[in-house]
Amino acid sequence: MSRSAFTLDGAEVPFDDGQTLIEAARAARRYVPFLCAHPDYPAHGSCRVCTVLVNGRPMAACTTKAAAGQVVESDTPALTADRRALVQMLFVEGNHFCPGCEKSGGCTLQSLGIELGVTSAGFAHESPVRPVDASHPDLLLDFDRCILCELCVRASADVDGKHVFALSGRGLHKHLIVNAESGRLVDTGMSVDDAAASVCPVGVILKKRVGFSTPIGQRPHDVATPRQQVEGKEGA
């Protein structure tokens, strides 16, 4: 084994100094299931879907730095079962109605559910009551679908410099809020051209009046699922 490499499910994966496990794996076109990790933003480590075993210890692949000689396991029945449970919990904590959601076919949570073989809720539905915010002329917020990944928080703060979004509350009561006295998006400085308007991996932040304009077969994950995007393969 070369000095700067680790093994992922038995295959050697080279890395550059400072790369995380998931960054190195992506560079080597090897897929580790992920949800809140985004290549354009610093690691957040909130969803734990990318948890792998590093020398036998569970670690988030998005926050763990690669080190020479690490033995990393990802594709194991036990880890797949754990990831499936995590995704099921995210589904039941919100209100996710994929059949009527315009993000279908481009939703990372939905694709991950399919990837992991989620076929049932698995847990009791929380059925939270979270009214939509349609106050903004060009954007709609459907809080039912929030998975608390903070990508919008990071994009608004780090790229847009606006700090429109934040998470409030703790534990089960944690929820997404917008930075306005009224609590309404229209009273923030949010613009449809902001990075935060396009970063949501699920169907919370939506551009108005364009839903379902992309036909089935041409939606992002119809063209290539997250796994296929990492592996560099075209979809069916």
Partner 1 sequence: MTEPTTRRIAIEPLSRVEGHGKVTLLLDEAGAVREARLHIVEFRGFEAFIVGRPYWEVPVVVQRLCGICPVSHNLCAAKALDAVVGGVPPPSAVKLRRLMHSAQLLQSHALHFFHLASPDLLFGFDSDASRRNLMGLVERHPEVAKMGVMLRKFGQQVLEAVYGKRVHGTGAVPGGVNKHLSLEARDQFVSQVPQVKAWALEAVGLARRLTEVNQARHRGFGAVPSNLLGLVATDGSLDLYDGVLRGVDAEGRVLFDGVEAVDYRALIREEARPWSYMKFPYLERLGPDVGWYKVGPLARLQLCDRLPTPLAEAARLEFRAAYPGVTHAPLAYHWARMVELLHAVEDLERLFADEGLLHGDLVATGARQREGIGIIEAPRGTLIHHYEVGDDDLVTRCNLIVSTTNNNQAMNEAIRAVAQRYLSGHEVTEGLLNHVEVAVRAFDPCLSCATHAMGQMPLEVTVVDAGGAVAGVGRRGEA
Which residues of this protein are in contact with partner 1, per CB under 8 A?
99-100, 102, 124, 131-132, 134-135, 140, 206, 208-218
Residue 118 to residue 179: CA distance in whole angstroms: 35
Nearest to partner 1 of 3, 209 (CB atom): 209
Nearest to partner 1 of 39, 100 (CB atom): 100
Locate the DSSP E strands across 149-223.
165-168, 175-178, 205-207
- Report DSSP state, residue 157: I
CB of 208 vs partner 1, minimal distance in Å: 6
CB of 98 vs partner 1, minimal distance in Å: 11
Unique residue bearing structure tokens 């995210």: 90
SS3 6: strand
Nearest to partner 1 of 73, 138 (CB atom): 138
Nearest to partner 1 of 17, 234 (CB atom): 234
Nearest to partner 1 of 140, 196 (CB atom): 140
Q: What ranges in 45-99 are assigned the alpha helix state H?
A: 77-93
Q: How far is CA 94 from CA 61, 179, 233, in A?
A: 25, 22, 32
Residue 85 to residue 76: CA distance in whole angstroms: 14
Partners of 11 in the β-ladder: 8
Residue 124 to residue 104: CA distance in whole angstroms: 23
Nearest to partner 1 of 23, 102 (CB atom): 102
Nearest to partner 1 of 36, 101 (CB atom): 101
Among candidates 214, 198, 226, which has minimal Cα distance to 104?
A: 214
Q: How many other C-beta atoms can be found within 10 angstroms of the C-beta atom of residue 80?
A: 15
Q: How far is CA 56 from CA 66, 70, 79, 216, in A?
A: 15, 10, 12, 42
